[in-house]
Amino acid sequence: MHKMNEMEMREKLVDYGKRLVAAGLVQGTWGNLSMRLSEETMLVTPSGLDYNRLSPADMVKVDVRSLEHEGEHKPTSEKGLHAGIYQRRPEIGAVIHTHSKYASVFAAAGRSVPVVQPELKRIFGSQVPLAKYGLPGTKTLKKHTIEALGDNNGCIMTAHGMICCGRTMEEAFDHCLKLEDCCRQYIEEGYERDEQIMDIKEILERQRSFFAEGVTKDLSYRRSALLKLRNEVKRHENEIFDALYKDLGKSAYEVYETEIGLVYSEITYMLKHLDRLARPKRVATPLSNFPSKSLIYREPYGSVLIMSPWNYPFQLTLVPLAGALAAGNCAVVKPSAYSPAVSHIIAKIISETFSECYVHTVTGGREANQNLLSQKFDYIFFTGGKAVGRQVMEAAAKHLSPVTLELGGKSPCIVDESANIPLAARRIVWGKFLNCGQTCVAPDYILVHESVKSKLLAALVKNIEALYGEDPVNSKDYSKIVNEKHFDRLTALIEGEDLYYSGGIDRDRLKMGPVIIDEASWDSKAMGEEIFGPILPMIEFDDLRRVKKELEGRPKPLALYLFTRSKASMKYVTKNISFGGGCINDTIMHLATSNMPFGGVGDSGMGNYHGSYSFRTFTHEKSVLNKSNLIDVPLRYPPYGRDTKWLRLFLK
């Protein structure tokens, strides 16, 4: 058998990188390949380079023990993982880590793959192993992957695709093809769906049995659950920071400000006010029911489904969960597949805190959503886009399940001629570009009075640079776009547009800096849909009445912001324009209070939550009339052949 020299190995790595792309085994993130060069060294692909542009000279020689490397290129961040496999498995000559379509479904869900084909069982066994989650390039990821791989030829890596190995590169590549095919067949032939449906049916049955025992209705049990949840979040804070940085590029400060801190605040509110919220409310009784007492009891629904989005994946999962638990419900939580690292830590926190008969997490993508929505829940709480919101409502209607829909929309920001321009610009920049514009209540566009437009434009740019520097796309305080699909959608919105300001674009890192379009019109591309990104169109106006008329013909927004010193403008806008909620002389901050409801209207949603409104959302108002046995007024009983004078006195 011919023994390859170093140049032949370099050429082979280049060749198989291209083969991975051609075979459809690369989706989004490139992954990494390596070959054993000697007992002490290996060749690995460099960090961040397109496989189709690699040359043999780009391959990096790395010492498998010290991890020191030669040459100008930086090796893949997973060099330690590759080296660890070679050290543990002397028979292995090649390793491939890739993010393929079907294997990534199982990776995002954090699930191993049952092997149903006999010929594949000889390669992978009856169950493809699953490696626990670890951050990229860390010793934790290396440890979990090597443990899961064992003496096997491949495994699924939670949130990281798959890894396969072989004696040769040909064999490792063949194992990748077979593992991907194993995942594809399992999904396409319905095994995955059937298994998930059985799983969720069983969990729902357990939750209903547990709820029927009445344990969750006890206030001390609810209080204990909230305390446990808060403590577990606290214990996992560092992992939450890391996960949100991985999924969305959020800084630690922003994570606490917009995610973890809001969860703590909601739990604290529930603990402080639980007795008052759960207490039956006595209301006035009409004379027709004298003598009696009228009481309203707040009764938990049972098993509720909470479906959350990817943009604030931690906060928008645990804040409604806190309300559901405070109200006395059991819950099934479904975080978004687009934020896999956060989904994993949510599942970890919940599994370590609660039994699945009380709270359970389901991960995965559309298939998992469909499986959940095919079941009957006692209440469904959904946060996300309008398209999926319609599907949720349609599915809920089949079971007559009540729903809350927290959707989105194009939230206008009105700046009139009396506004404090420097302050308005600072608050608009913060609210718009927080989380790289991926906020459902972010100002979607600006309506500015023509007399202050130039001042506002200059102030916006000044504040962008004050908050994020002259090169915002490289600011450590500036987040990234969630994935390539959304990045490409956003770049298409500004293609061909004259931009007043652009903070830079870096597709490799999914970074898009702030963008201002100063000559936008109602017909501009960016005005056709909710932007959900760092693009800020500006339209000028000369009269608030024209603004009202234009907004009346459009879907009702989730939020509206008005910057003005004029009380007349404040009164006109709040009285005449319908929107879910908003601020005068600020952005976004209306949702950071537990004393007001947060929710949409019309196309932007239905229902609301936060604080006492979360408790109301997750409970049924049960009316009970407690009638006295001492007096029984005879007026209601037949025979009715009497004068209605007394009846008219009671019922008027």
List, for residues 614-641, the tens digit of each pLDDT value: 999 999 999 999 999 988 888 888 888 7
> How many C-alpha atoms does 622 have within 13 Å on its Cβ side?
13
Distance (Å, whole) CA 255 – CA 231 = 17
Helix 79-88 with 139-149: angle, nearest 10 deg = 40
Enter the tokens of residue 532.
Answer: 């959900």
Let me know: does 39 contact 87? Beta carbons within 8 Å: no
CA distances (Å), 638 to each of 27, 290, 641, in order? 77, 19, 8
C-alpha span between 619 and 280 (Å, rounded): 12
Asked, colleague to colleague, whether 6-189 and 412-599 share their fold, the answer is no
Q: Which stretch of DSSP H or E encloses residue 43?
A: strand 41-44
Helices (H) and strands (E) in the chain, counts: 22, 27
Residue 306, classed as helix, strand or coil, is: strand
| Residue keyed to tokens 């001390």 | 220
Q: Which residues are catalytic?
A: 406
Tally of CB atoms within 10 A around 152: 16
| Inter-axis angle of helices 219-235 and 340-353, nearest 10 | 130
Fold exhibited by the domain 203-406: Aldehyde Dehydrogenase; Chain A, domain 1 (3.40.605)
- Give residue 428's identity as a one-letter amino acid code: I
Which homologous superfamily does the CATH classification assign to the domain defined by 6-189?
Answer: Class II aldolase/adducin N-terminal domain (3.40.225.10)
Q: Which residues of the chain have pLDDT under 50?
A: 1, 192-195
Sequence-separated (6 or more) residues with CB below 8 Å from residue 199: none
The pLDDT value given to residue 224: 95
Strand partners, 360: 332
Spatial separation of the C-alpha atoms in residues 141 and 110, rounded to whole Å: 14
Q: Which CATH superfamily is domain 412-599 in?
A: Aldehyde Dehydrogenase; Chain A, domain 2 (3.40.309.10)
Look up residue 75 and give its DSSP letter: B
Strands 501-502 and 515-517: antiparallel
CB 151 within 8 A of CB 177: no
**Cis, peptide link before residue 443, omega less than 30° from 0:** no
Structural domain boundaries of the chain?
Answer: 6-189, 203-406, 412-599
Q: Which residue has the tokens 């604030």?
A: 312
Burial of 423 (0-12, 13-18, 19+ CB in 10 A): middle
Sign of CA dihedral 143, 144, 147, 152: negative
* SS3 of residue 445 by DSSP: strand
pTM: 0.72
CA 408 to chain centroid: 14
- Within 322-441, strands assigned E span 330-334, 359-361, 379-383, 403-406, 412-415
